[in-house]
A and B are shown apart, each in its own frame.
Chain A
Amino acid sequence: EEKYTTSISKGLTSARAAEILARDGPNALTPPKSTPEIIKFLKQMVGGFSILLWVGALLCWIAFGIQTAQGVASAFDNLYLGVVLALVVILTGIFAYYQEAKSTNIMASFSKMIPQQALVIRDGEKKEVPAEQLVVGDMVEIKGGDRIPADIRLIFAQGCKVDNSSLTGESEPQSRSCDFTHENPLETKNIAFYSTTCLEGTATGMVINTGDHTIIGRIASLASGVGNEKTPIAIEIEHFVHIVAGVAVSIGVLFFIIAVSMKYKVLDSIIFLIGIIVANVPEGLLATVTVSLSLTAKRMAKKNCLVKNLEAVETLGSTSIICSDKTGTLTQNRMTVAHLWFDDQIYSADTSEEQTTQSFDQSSQSWAALSKIVTLCNRAEFKPGQENVPIMKRVVVGDASETALLKFAEVILGDVMGIRKRNRKLAEIPFNSTNKFQLSIHETEDPNDKRFLLVMKGAPERILERCSTIMINGEEQPLDRERAEAFQTAYMELGGLGERVLGFCHLYLPEDEFPDTYPFDTDSMNFPTSNLCFVGLLSMIDPPRSTVPDAVSKCRSAGIKVIMVTGDHPITAKAIAKSVGIISANSETVEDIAKRLNIPVEQVNKQDARAAVINGMELKDMTTEQLDEILINHSEIVFARTSPQQKLIIVEGCQRQDAVVAVTGDGVNDSPALKKADIGIAMGIAGSDAAKNAADMILLDDNFASIVTGVEEGRLIFDNLKKTIAYTLTKNIAELCPFLIYIIASIPLPIGTITILFIDLGTDIIPSVALAYEKAESDIMNRRPRHKKKDRLVNEQLAVYSYLQIGILQSVGAFLAYFTVYAEQGWLPNTLLGLRVNWEDDYYNDIEDSYGQEWTRYQRTYLQWSGYTAFFVSITIQQVADLIIRKTRRNSIFQQGLLRNKVIWVGIFSQIAIALILCYGLGSVTALNFTPLRVQYWFVAMPYAILIWVYDEIRKLFIRQYPGSWWDKNMYY
C-alpha cells in the first residue's frame, strides 16, 4: 500500500513517522474543550455573594474618599474594611477555585493511569512505542488482550476477535479477518477500531486513522455537543444566595431610607449600609459548603464512587430514577453455571462471587459421568502460575461458557488439568455454528479399560437428536417419548430463567471396533456421532452480584425507581431483573397477565401490570407520549435489546417526569446519555475513556450497590448542608440586629464590621464544617427522594426559624452582655439611648455617664471595643448552643448522642479557642478592635444559650409528638 508510503514488512521509517506525527498530531483524543483557567477563576470571583461584597468594598472606598476629603479621623477604618472585604472575596474565590481544580485533577490522574504501548514495525524492526506516537501508515501487531491503539486495517489475522461493545453496543465478540466484506467501515470485517479490545487471536494491520479522526474520536466530539445541565445542588445554592442577598439588599435599602429620613448624613447611611451587607452575608458559608461536599466526595471515593464534579455528590442523593446497565453492574459479568439437570431432576448451583464448594447432591453415577464430560470436552485453560489465586479469580484462556465450565469443574473436582492429562485427548472437533456441538475423544484414566471415551456438548436439542439412550442414576436407559418430554420440560424451564443451556452426552467406543491404534480423523468423522448416551444439561448465566438484590430493595424503600437498560435478550433481562428484585416476585407484566387470564395482550388493563419489559424494537416505534405513559404507569421497567442510543431517549423520558435521573454506562455510545442524565455514572473497570469523560461520577468497582451507598451519602450531605446553613444563618441576625438598633435607637455601636468578619470567617468555620460529619437522624433510605422543586435546601421554615426565632434569641442574649459591660462601667442602659451623636464626636472629651463621670473620646472608644468583644464572645457562646441544637432537626439531641460526632467537639473547642486568642492574644492590636475581657462576661449570655437549647428541644418534642400539626408544618425545616 504505497498510498501511505509504507511497507507491509518493514513499516515506516522513523523519520517519516516523525514527519507524519508532526503533521497529524499525536494519536490521542483531544480532551473536551475546557474553560480557560482564568475564566474559571474570574467566575469564582463574581459568583455567589461576591458581587454583594464587592459592592460593600466599593462603598467603603467611596466613604473613605469622602471622609479623607473632609478630614475625618476615623476615615482609614473604611479603607481597611474595604481592603478586608476585597480580601475575603479574593480568598474565598481562590479557595473555591482550588477545590474545583483539585477535583478536576483527580480525574486527570485517573485517565493517565494506564499509559498505552503499541507494538509497531518501523525501520523493519519491532518496537514498543507509546500509542500516542502512532501515525497513519504504521504497521502494528496486536494480540489477544490488547487494546487496539488506532483504527487499523488488518492485513493479516489469525482467529482474531474483537469486542466492539464500547463502540456499537454489540456484546458478542466480532471476528476479524483481512477480507473486505462491506462498504460501510463499521460493518466490514477488516477494520479494527481504536479503543476496542482484541479478545483473542493475533493480527497485523496498518493504521489508517489516528486521534480525533478515528471513528471513536468522531463520536466523542459529537457527545460533547450535549449540554450539561445545572446540578440540583447548584440550583439550591443559587436559590439560597438569592434569598440571603434579597434579604441583605432589602434590609440594607430599607434602613438606608430610614437612616436618611432620620436625618443621618448620607455618608453615615452608606456606612450603615455596608455594615448591614456584611452582617447579612454569610461570607464563609460557600467555602464551608464546598468543604463539606469535598469531604463527602472523599468518603464516597473510599466506597468506590469517584466523584468528578463536587456538586454531583448531592445530585446522587436526590436521584429518583436509576437507569442501570445489566452486564457488569447488576451482574458479575462472568458466565457461571447456575443449574444442572441430570437424573430427571434440576439442581441449582452456587453462583456467588466467592464460591469454594458446591453443595448439590453429587453422589449419583450420572454426575460422575457428567462431570467427566464437562472436564474433558472443554478447550479452556487456566493461565499458568495461578495456583494461589482463588479459583473464581483465576485468568482463563477461552470463551465465556467454557470458562464457566472449567471453573465449575475445578471447584468441585479440583485439578482439572491433571484429569485432562490422565485422560489424553486423541481428537477434537471445536464448536462451530453449523454443527453447534463440540466433541473430543479421550483415553480413559482407568488402565484396565481400553475403551475410548467420546464426549460431546452443544445446543441441547442438537445433542438430543444424536442420542438414543439417556443416563438415569448411572444406568443407560432407552430415550423414550416420556424421557424426551422430561428433557423438554427441563430445557424450557432453564431457558425460561434466561440461562444459556448446554447439553452433554458421551459414548464409550467399543474396544473391538476402535483398538488402541485407531486413527481418528476429524475431517472424515470416522467414528460414531449418533446413538450416543445423553447425560445431562447444564445452564449458565451471568449471575447477579450478591450485593445487588439488597441494594435494589434499599432503592425501593428509598423511593428510587430502578430501570434496567440492557442489550440482552428480554428473557434473560427479565430473569436477572427478577432475581435482583427490579421486578419484584409478585408483580406481572402485561404479557404475564394475558398468559394467566388467557386473553389477548390488547385486552389487559395496563394499570394492572406493575412490571414491564420493553423491547428495543418496540421502543423504536414509540411516540414520546407512549414512552411517558409507560414510565408513569409501570413502576418496574426493563428495557431489553436496546441500543446505547436509545438510552438517551429513555433518560429524556424520565426527565420529562421531573425525575432526577442517574444513568450508568461504559461504552462510547453511552456518553450522550451520560451527559444528558442528571448524574452520569461511568464504570471504572469496564468503562471507556469517553464514557468517563462524559460522566459526573465513576464507579470504581462497577458495582450497582456502590451507587446505593453513594445515594445514601448524597442524602446525608443534603440534610447536613441544611443544618450547616441553618447554623450559619442564625448568627447573621445577631450580627444584623446591632446595626438596626444602632440606627434606630442611636446607642453606641454594639459590634463592629471587622468583628463580624471574625465570626463569619473565624469562629464559625470549623463548627459548620463539623456538621457535615453528623450521622443521619433516621434511616434516610426509608424516605422518598426529595422533589427537585418542592423540597428546597433552604425553605421558608428554615429561614424563618433561624432568622426570626433562634437568631432573635441570640441577639437578645448578646445585647444582655453588651448592656452589662456598659452598665458595669458606668453607662446604665437608659443613658445609652440616643447617645450616638455625642458618643461619636471626636472632640467631645467630657461626656457624663450615669454616675457623672466624664469620658474622653478614646476612653469611650475603648469601652466600645470592649462592648464589641463582649458581643462577639456572647455570639460565640450562643453559637455553641446553636451548633448543638443543629445536630438534629427532629430527634432529641439525647437520642442522637452528644458524643457520637467527635468533630462537633473539635468545632466547639476550636470556636472557643479562636475566641480566646482574639480576645486575650490579639486584644492589644488596635486595628482588630478586640480588648481583653473580664472573665465573667463570657458567662453573661450563657442563660440564653441554655434557653436556645431548651427551646429547640421543646420544638423537636412537639414535632415528634404531633406530626402533621400546625407546629410540625411551621417549625420543621
Chain B
Amino acid sequence: PSPMARGKAKEGDGNWKKFIWNSEKKEFLGRTGGSWFKILLFYLIFYGCLAGIFIGTIQVMLLTISEYEPKYQDRVAPPGLTVVPQVLKTEVSFSISDPKTYEEYVEGLNRFLKNYDNSQQTDEMIFDDCPGAFNNAQGQKKVCRFRREWLENCSGILDSSYGYKDGKPCVVVKLNRILGFKPKAIIPRKCCKNVDKIGTVEYYGLGGYAGFPLQYYPYYGKLLQPKYLQPLMAVQFTNLTYDTEVRVECKVYGENIHYSDKDRFQGRFEVKFDIKSS
C-alpha cells in the first residue's frame, strides 16, 4: 500500500510539469492527442451548428424588418436638435486674434456644409426645387434642394470664417432626421435665451425665414432618399459679451416637438461661448 499512497500524494501536490506534458501517457494538459482531437472535433461541430442556428435566427429576425422603415421609432423620436460645429462639451472657446483657436470650428462647418454646395445638387433626377409653400403632394422620392447661400453670412461663401474672425460666431442648426417625421403646423421663431449677454441674434434660413420649412418633410429614409438634405438654420451671435462664459440655450417650437429633462438635445441645444477679445 505504501508506494500507492506515495503516488497519490504526488498527484495531490499538483505536479504541474507532468500535467502539461505527461511523457508516460503521452498526455498534453491531461489529454492524449487522440482525445484532444475528439474533443476539438466535438466543439468544432457544436459551435458550427450553433453559429448556423444563430445566423439562421438572425436572418429570420431580419425578414420581419422592412428595408424602408424601422419597425419602431419610439426611442429616436421626438427629434433631437443638432448644432454644428459639434465640439467637446459644446464649448465654443476661441480668441479673435488667433485664427488657430477657431480653425477647428470652421473646419467642422465646412465639412458639414459641403453637402449643401450647389455642385452637389445638380442631378435633376434626384433634386427638385420645391415650391416655396408647403406642399403635401410633392414627388415622394425627390429631394428638395437647399441652397447654401440661403444661410447668407453664415454660409461660408461670403465669409469663409463664418464670422469667427470678427467675434460674431455662426452656428448651424438642424433638426435630426427622423424617418417619416412631419413637424406639425409651422415652426415658429426659434428663440435663444440669456438675452442680456448674448446681445442680438441673427437667424438665416430659407428666404430669411427663421424656421425649418415644412416642405422638406417627411424624410423617406436612406434607401429612397440617399442624398436627402434637411433644411438648415444658421444662427449668428453678433453682439456677444467677450471674455466671459456665455451659456446659450436654443429651443425649437412645434406641436410635436418635445423636451426632456434627461436629454439636453431633444428639441433644444446648449452652447457655451467663451470668446477672448485679445
Binding site for B on A (CB under 8 A): 71, 628, 632, 656, 658, 789, 804-805, 808-809, 812, 815-816, 819-820, 823-826, 828-829, 843-846, 848-859, 862-863, 866, 926, 934, 940, 943, 947, 966, 970
Of the A-B pairs whose beta carbons lie under 8 Å apart in the complex, a sample of 7, sorted by A's number, is A658-B5, A820-B61, A823-B65, A826-B70, A845-B86, A855-B76, A943-B57
> Is A808 within 8 A of B90, CB to CB?
no
Tell me the residues in window 67-116 of chain B with beta carbons closer than 8 Å to chain A beta carbons: 68-76, 79-80, 82, 86-90
> Is B80 within 8 A of A855, CB to CB?
yes
Q: How many A-B residue pairs have CB under 8 A?
A: 135
Contact pick for A823, options B1, B61, B87, B219, CB 8 Å: B61
Q: How far is the CA of A858 from the CA of B266 in the complex (A)?
A: 9
Q: Which of B18-26, B158-166, B174-182 contacts A (4 or more CB under 8 A)?
A: B174-182
User: Assuming A845-B80, A866-B75, A926-B262, is B176 touching A853 (CB within 8 A)?
Assistant: yes
Name A629's closest neighbour in chain B (CB-CB): B1
> Is A843 within 8 A of B75, CB to CB?
no
B217 in the interface (beta carbon within 8 A): no
Which residues of B sit under 8 angstroms from A825, Cβ to Cβ? 70-76
> Is A809 within 8 A of B50, CB to CB?
yes
> Is A854 within 8 A of B73, CB to CB?
no
Contact pick for B8, options A789, A819, A846, A863, CB 8 Å: A789
Which residues of B sit under 8 angstroms from A866, Cβ to Cβ? 75
The 9 closest A-B pairs by CB, nearest first: A856-B80, A852-B222, A858-B263, A854-B176, A826-B70, A824-B71, A846-B82, A856-B265, A863-B75
Contact pick for B43, options A804, A828, A859, CB 8 Å: A804
User: Assuming A855-B176, A863-B75, is B47 touching A823 (CB within 8 A)?
Assistant: no
> Is A843 within 8 A of B86, CB to CB?
yes
> Is A856 within 8 A of B61, CB to CB?
no
Which residues of A sit under 8 angstroms from B278, Cβ to Cβ? none
> Is B61 within 8 A of A849, CB to CB?
no
> Is A851 within 8 A of B179, CB to CB?
yes
| Sample of 6 further A-B pairs with CB below 8 A, known A843-B86, A853-B176 | A809-B50, A819-B58, A843-B87, A852-B225, A854-B82, A856-B263
User: Assuming A789-B12, A852-B219, is B80 touching A812 (CB within 8 A)?
Assistant: no
Which residues of B sit under 8 angstroms from A855, Cβ to Cβ? 76, 80, 176
B53 in the interface (beta carbon within 8 A): yes
Q: How far is the CA of A857 from the CA of B90 in the complex (A)?
A: 13
> Is A857 within 8 A of B61, CB to CB?
no
> Is B58 within 8 A of A829, CB to CB?
yes
- Chain B interface size, as a band, is 35 or more
Q: How far is the CA of A856 from the CA of B82 in the complex (A)?
A: 8
> Is A859 within 8 A of B87, CB to CB?
no
Q: How far is the CA of A857 from the CA of B82 in the complex (A)?
A: 11
Q: How far is the CA of A2 from the CA of B38 in the complex (A)?
A: 90
Contact pick for A828, options B62, B68, B80, B174, CB 8 Å: B62
> Is A816 within 8 A of B61, CB to CB?
yes
B15 in the interface (beta carbon within 8 A): no
> Is A812 within 8 A of B176, CB to CB?
no
Which residues of A sit under 8 angstroms from B119, Cβ to Cβ? none
Which residues of B sit under 8 angstroms from A846, Cβ to Cβ? 80, 82, 86, 174, 176-177
User: Assuming A823-B61, A846-B176, A853-B179, is B54 touching A815 (CB within 8 A)?
Assistant: yes
Name A805's closest neighbour in chain B (CB-CB): B46
Q: How far is the CA of A788 from the CA of B65 in the complex (A)?
A: 57
User: Assuming A826-B76, A849-B76, A858-B263, is B178 touching A843 (CB within 8 A)?
Assistant: no
B146 in the interface (beta carbon within 8 A): no
Q: How far is the CA of A215 from the CA of B222 in the complex (A)?
A: 95
Name A826's closest neighbour in chain B (CB-CB): B70
> Is B263 within 8 A of A843, CB to CB?
no
Smallest CB–CB gap between B50 and chain A, Å? Answer: 6
Q: How far is the CA of A926 from the CA of B263 in the complex (A)?
A: 12
> Is B62 within 8 A of A823, CB to CB?
yes
> Is B75 within 8 A of A859, CB to CB?
yes
Which residues of B sit under 8 angstroms from A656, Cβ to Cβ? 5
